[in-house]
Amino acid sequence: MNTVTTNQFIVAGIGTEIGKTLVSAVLVERLRADYWKPIQSGGLTDSDTDTVRHLITNDTSRFHPEAYRLTEPLSPHAAAAIDGITIELARITLPQTDNALVVELAGGLLVPLNDQDLTIDMVQRLNLPVVLVSKNYLGSINHTLLSVEACRSRGIPLLGIIFNGPTVRATEEFILNHTKLPCLARISQLDTVNPDVIKQVAATLPDVFWYRVNRYAVPPWYGVTFDPIPELPATQQASLPQRDQAVVWHPFTQMQTAPLPIPIARGAGSVLYDADGNEYIDAISSWWVNLHGHAHPYIADRVAAQLNTLEHVIFAGFTHQPAVELAERLLAILPQNQAKVFYSDNGSTAVEVALKMAFQYWHNLGMPRRKVIAFQDAYHGDTFGAMAVSGRSAFTGAFVPFLFDVEYLPTPVAGREADVLALAETLFTDEVAAFIAEPLVQGAGGMVMYEPAVLDQLIRLARRSGALVIADEVMTGFGRTGRLFASHHLQEPPDLMCLSKGLTGGTMALGVTTCTSAIYDAFLSDDKFKTLFHGHSFTANPLACTAALASMDLLLSDETQANIRRIAARHAEFADRLRLNSAVSAVRQRGTLLAFDLVVSGGTSYFSTIRDRAYNFLLNRGVLMRPLGNVLYLMPPYCTTDAQLTTVYGHIDALLTELQGKPTDNEIVIGH
């Protein structure tokens, strides 16, 4: 039994003249629901709203005004053009009601509303499940299946199908068997339509359509007797955030004091939409992973096709097309010395694999080395090896006794290069197995940036001692720094590279570690103990590899490369403006990444209270940023428009004005 919690839904048809208005009237009568048709084309003197109103006998239902009433009975985009207007999705918002609500669409799901948006785009924004109305005619099977596939490709929940008109059991059985959707009801051909007939038909609907308690139960298969509606557990009667709080433990969150999480219903482009329809510009690519926008149809279609072919296979002793093709295409765009690809699940595991490769490389050569050199304040992940080579901080404090020792270099920011290089001269000895760095930008350590020339010098010192060089490009890879990889800014290529985050365009978890032929060859032996004994259950998952291939298609396109340059140029303009503001310091930019510090007194840290003020101020204005203490940064998806960037910049300006007027206990200090 599938239990669905809702008392509002959309009535969609597989085309025109399917009987959506008739079905809507029956449902409104049976559920004593409100009725709303967002867009009415034609029938201004006798609209569908008027028709349903005249067919209803209950005194509970209310009839909400259309968002658009168009003169001609044409497709909405054509009717709107004749009326000299453009239909805007932002104007189409659900009416406020505590009652059940039946929303009737105009035409089919793929009917155009304007030059860009289809009816199904409006359905996604309304964030309601769909009841699909089907009717038997030549081509109805095709139209029904296409409508179902359209909803499923967009992640729109389908409650089931109502068949309207003469019963053709063979057609209905084929549709239900193929779609695996329940038949919610059949409404026979009606010779007469009036309030008495509608009331009679409504009374015959199965109990599945009683929404008295804001829930209903749908049988999973055709022809099954409808069961009584079960009581839901108390946790499922609560809101989604409350249910989340009862069962979920969130990352980097003090669960005792954290507010309820925001329930996100969907994403499109650079915008996230919550369950109440509020919009948030995702200015940080949802923890730096999203490249091309949320729910990108090209990636979604590629993954959906792969899901119907092969969802997963063990990667020991087997292979598959997406994994091989992805490895080939990655090596073609990485520094030329990279020769082999090892798959894992995420950025932390990509780093773990690189460290194991480095340590075992020396072990296999019979010259074991055990030291690693890393930057202070580095962040390489949250698994134990990745934590060990990260800077010691509040995040690693509880685990320090369990981490292997690392020699640290200060990050070679401007003005400290000579001191860092002098220290490196003493640290790089023949005991060092590897030097690991986030090239050019330290992410979670505060978006600290340094120049390629000094990293090249450090790599040369590492090579002089024989140490392997690991470039952790989990955050910097795939265009963030203005080039495909931060390592492309260097003259000295790394020996190993770690990739994740943007690898799949932000759609699925996947990690990659690449290495040179020399490293790979050190593991080739008749001695099985020289094998790299590492793997994951979902290593090289075909779905994730397919997502990565689709993302790469988009990334390498002229359009995306132009967008990267455009965003970098817009950031540069905003950075110049920020440098004139006394509330900020250390404005820095590398490609599409822009960061700056809020000037505060009393020292700074990840736990600075200014962080919460900035986060909440921006979030309340529809901008998602996640400050690192007093460090604010922008790392938007590449599809982010100029208008969206202008909006984000404007809200940051407003934040700075707000902070200048209202210092708090980790106070912003103006003019210092």
pLDDT at 587 over 80: yes
| pLDDT band with cut points at 50, 70 and 90 for residue 237 | low
pLDDT at 598 over 60: yes
Q: What is the pLDDT of residues 501-535, one digit of tens each?
A: 999 999 999 999 999 999 999 999 999 999 999 99
Average pLDDT over residues 64-87: 94
Query: How many CA atoms lie within 13 Å of 437's alpha carbon, on the beta-carbon side?
Result: 32
Residues 6+ apart with CB under 8 A from 192: none
* Token representation of residue 555: 């990334």
Which residue intervals of 365-510 are DSSP H helices?
Answer: 384-388, 417-427, 452-465
| pLDDT band with cut points at 50, 70 and 90 for residue 233 | low
Residues 399, 400, 405, 408, Cα dihedral to 10°: 110
Q: What is the pLDDT of residues 533-578, one digit of tens each?
A: 999 999 999 999 999 999 999 999 999 999 999 999 999 999 999 9
Average pLDDT over residues 143-150: 95
Query: Could you tell me the strand order of the sheet in which 271-274 lies?
Result: 264-268, 271-274, 279-282, 623-624
**How much of the chain, in percent, has pLDDT values that exceed 90?**
80
Average pLDDT over residues 45-65: 92
Residues β-bridged to residue 268: 271
Residue span(s) of the chain under CATH 3.40.640.10 come to 302-555
pLDDT score at 225: 34
Average pLDDT over residues 123-147: 94
pLDDT score at 213: 26
pLDDT score at 606: 64
CA–CA gap between residue 225 and residue 231 (Å, rounded): 18
Distances (CA, A) of 459 to 5, 313, 471, 612: 58, 39, 10, 38
Q: Where are the beta strands (DSSP E) in 275-402?
A: 279-282, 340-344, 371-375
pLDDT score at 605: 61
CATH of domain 264-293+559-661: 3.90.1150.10
CB of 163 closer than 8 Å to CB of 171? no
Kindly state the DSSP code that residue 363 receives in the 8-state scheme. H
Q: Considering the chain, what is the average pLDDT of its residues?
A: 91
- Determine the 3-state secondary structure of 427 from DSSP: helix
Q: What is the pLDDT of residues 17-31, one digit of tens each?
A: 899 999 999 999 999
In the block, which residue shows the tokens 């990840």? 606
Query: Could you tell me the strand order of the sheet in which 432-437 lies?
Result: 340-344, 511-515, 496-499, 468-472, 432-437, 371-375, 407-409
Q: What is the pLDDT of residues 80-110, one digit of tens each?
A: 999 999 999 989 999 999 899 999 999 899 9
At residue 63's C-alpha, the angle toward residues 58 and 67, to 5°, is: 165
Kindly state the DSSP code that residue 644 receives in the 8-state scheme. H
Residue span(s) of the chain under CATH 3.40.50.300 come to 2-232
pLDDT at 407 over 80: yes
* Token representation of residue 183: 């038949």
Residues 6+ apart with CB under 8 A from 355: 372, 385, 386, 389, 434, 436, 470
pLDDT score at 301: 86
pLDDT at 219 over 50: no
pLDDT at 668 over 50: no
Average pLDDT over residues 71-75: 92
Q: Helix 609-619 vs helix 642-661: angle between axes, to the nearest 10 degrees?
A: 130
pLDDT at 234 over 60: no
Residues 6+ apart with CB under 8 A from 420: 409, 410, 411, 412, 454, 458
In the block, which residue shows the tokens 């090239």? 439
Q: What is the pLDDT of residues 250-294, one digit of tens each?
A: 999 999 999 999 999 999 999 999 988 899 999 999 999 999 999
pLDDT score at 153: 87
Average pLDDT over residues 461-476: 98
Architecture of domain 2-232: 3-Layer(aba) Sandwich (3.40)
pLDDT score at 485: 98
Whether this model's pTM surpasses 0.95: no
Domain 302-555 class in CATH = alpha beta
Residue span(s) of the chain under CATH 3.90.1150.10 come to 264-293+559-661
CB of 166 closer than 8 Å to CB of 48? no
| pLDDT band with cut points at 50, 70 and 90 for residue 226 | very low
Out of 187-191, 295-299, 607-611, give the one with best mean pLDDT: 295-299
pLDDT at 388 over 90: yes
Distances (CA, A) of 587 to 35, 323, 590, 619: 53, 40, 11, 22
- Determine the 3-state secondary structure of 587 from DSSP: strand
pLDDT score at 395: 84
At residue 371's C-alpha, the angle toward residues 365 and 374, to 5°, is: 125
| pLDDT band with cut points at 50, 70 and 90 for residue 206 | low
State the CB neighbour count (10 A cutoff) for residue 274. 14
**How much of the chain, in percent, has pLDDT values that exceed 70?**
92
pLDDT score at 421: 98
Residues 6+ apart with CB under 8 A from 545: 320, 322, 323, 325, 326, 343, 510
* Token representation of residue 57: 């006998």
Q: Where are the beta strands (DSSP E) in 570-609?
A: 584-590, 593-598
Average pLDDT over residues 360-377: 97
